[in-house]
Structure 1
Amino acid sequence: MERIEDAYHQNRGHYGSPRIHAELKDQGIHCGKKRIARLMREQQLSARKKKRKPRTTNSDHDLPVAPNLLERNFAADAPDKKWMSDFTYLETREGWLYLAGVIDAYSRKIVGWSMSEKHDTELVHAALHMALLQRQPGAELIHHSDRGSEYASSRYHMLLHEHHIQKSMSKKGDCWDNAMIESFWATLKKECAQGVIFLSRNEAKNVVFEYIEIYYNRKRRHSSLGYLSPAHYEKRIIESDNDFS
């Protein structure tokens, strides 16, 4: 039993009885597969199952989709020229927490975000609404997203139309077309949620709020921004414009 436990924990709990049997056999320990399975059941040792991940993008719909105006050109010469939107999820003991965000291509700043236990039009609409209130962009803005039903909805389209924003969408099933915000999700999960299962959705919300508003936007240095934070990078440009005028 000790050898079984050692083999189980050395392989991070991913091995079931067939692999444990093979592991012990390589160590010169001869024991029947059925006996190993029985001993593992008695000690409540079982292979960790891959966690079911929620489906986020649903592009199988009949809603109208926009052309890809961005074409993976993420360069911007000023704030609020190109926005990219997407949503992801975090695991909590109460269930999934969905997080929608809007990132500005110029400064990598998260200009709008929202969180909910549901991934629906309201989630992404709230993130865009926040971005519009904070930034008040001009009509030259391009808004890019995937083809998910949330972003293709008439309600979301109307909000973009009311603000004269050009709508752009990725090619079907191509995450690279929205790579900038996909990269942000990877950074967020690595730096504030890696290996963490939050006790509640409220705990996750507090952590995400602190990460985005206190750390990422204001403090975190980006190599692509000359090792400035998004807020500092934008402030520098504003100050230079004032000096010029």
Structure 2
Amino acid sequence: MPNLTGRDFTAPAPGRRLVGDITCLPTPEGWLYPVTVIDLHNREVIGHAMADHMRAELARDALSFAVERGLISGNAVFHADRDTPPGCSAPALAGHCIRTSVGRTGSCFDNAVAESFFATLKTEIGTTVRDTRDDARRGVFAYLGYYNHDRLHSTLDYRTPQEVRVGCRRGLALVA
């Protein structure tokens, strides 16, 4: 599969260029695997899923969540590294009119935005081992709300992802 982003982590409008990744969080019950879909236009996490496994449906669930929310445009590009579960393969995405892009093996720079998101998540929620998977899930879910609605991003001129998305939609409405 080709790399359609070429390390260009910008997008001209919401829902057109997306990146995704998976990480793991330890608990005494076992691992929790969060998967995210991030819109490169405003750095918003527009889709996510979490489970105790890394099967293909986990990645499909994260993308389906973003599609159901109406946050992905037709002919969008979804970029992931080669470690992302296979649910993000070309056949799985074709039904949503999403083209697949994959980085090189062993190059975190090809998926830097998604990698950076999980590094920030782990820094900001702490590396404490949560008592249960449900505790870890609640921690990730709370962080996603904070990240999208309250956390200021330097790449967005110190606005939140939600502010940028809402501002873009208002701008489109004013033109119409």
TM-score for the superposition, normalised by structure 2 = 0.93
**Alpha-carbon deviations, 1:166-202, whole Å to 9, x = none?**
111001111110000100001111111x231100000
Aligned residue number for residue 203 of structure 1:
135
**Alpha-carbon deviations, 1:38-72, whole Å to 9, x = none?**
xxxxxxxxxxxxxxxxxxxxxxxxxxxx1111110
Whether the 8 Å contact between 1:104 and 1:111 is mirrored in structure 2 is yes
Q: CA deviation at 1:226?
A: 1.1
- The separation in 1 between residues aligned to 2:49 and 2:72, in whole angstroms, is 19
- The separation in 2 between residues aligned to 1:118 and 1:228, in whole angstroms, is 34
Amino acid at match of 2:106: G
- The separation in 1 between residues aligned to 2:113 and 2:44, in whole angstroms, is 11
Aligned residue number for residue 39 of structure 2:
104
What RMSD over aligned residues (CA atoms) do the two structures have, in Å?
1.6
> How does 1:1-245 map onto structure 2 within 5 Å?
66-135=1-70, 137-148=72-83, 150-151=85-86, 156-192=89-125, 194-212=126-144, 214-245=145-176
Per residue, is there more strand in 1 or in 2?
Answer: 2
Q: CA deviation at 1:149?
A: 6.9
Q: 1:132–1:94: structure 2 CA closer, same or farther, 3 Å change rule?
A: same
Q: CA deviation at 1:139?
A: 2.7
**Alpha-carbon deviations, 1:53-96, whole Å to 9, x = none?**
xxxxxxxxxxxxx1111110111111011011110011112121
Whether the 8 Å contact between 2:22 and 2:33 is mirrored in structure 1 is yes
Task: Kindly report structure 1 stretches of 4+ aligned residues shifted beyond 3 Å.
Answer: none
Percent identity of equivalent pairs = 35
Structure 2, unmatched stretches of 5+, are none
Whether the 8 Å contact between 1:84 and 1:143 is mirrored in structure 2 is yes
Whether the 8 Å contact between 2:90 and 2:99 is mirrored in structure 1 is no
SS of 2:24's equivalent in the other structure is strand
Structure 1, unmatched stretches of 5+, are 1-65
- The separation in 2 between residues aligned to 1:106 and 1:142, in whole angstroms, is 12
Whether the 8 Å contact between 1:125 and 1:156 is mirrored in structure 2 is no
Amino acid at match of 1:205: R
- The separation in 2 between residues aligned to 1:136 and 1:109, in whole angstroms, is 10
Greater shift, 162-171 or 132-141, is seen at 132-141
TM-score for the superposition, normalised by structure 1 = 0.68
Please tell me whether Structure 1 or Structure 2 has the larger radius of gyration of its CA atoms: 1
Q: 1:205–1:129: structure 2 CA closer, same or farther, 3 Å change rule?
A: same
Whether the 8 Å contact between 1:84 and 1:103 is mirrored in structure 2 is yes
The count of residues paired between Structure 1 and Structure 2 equals 176
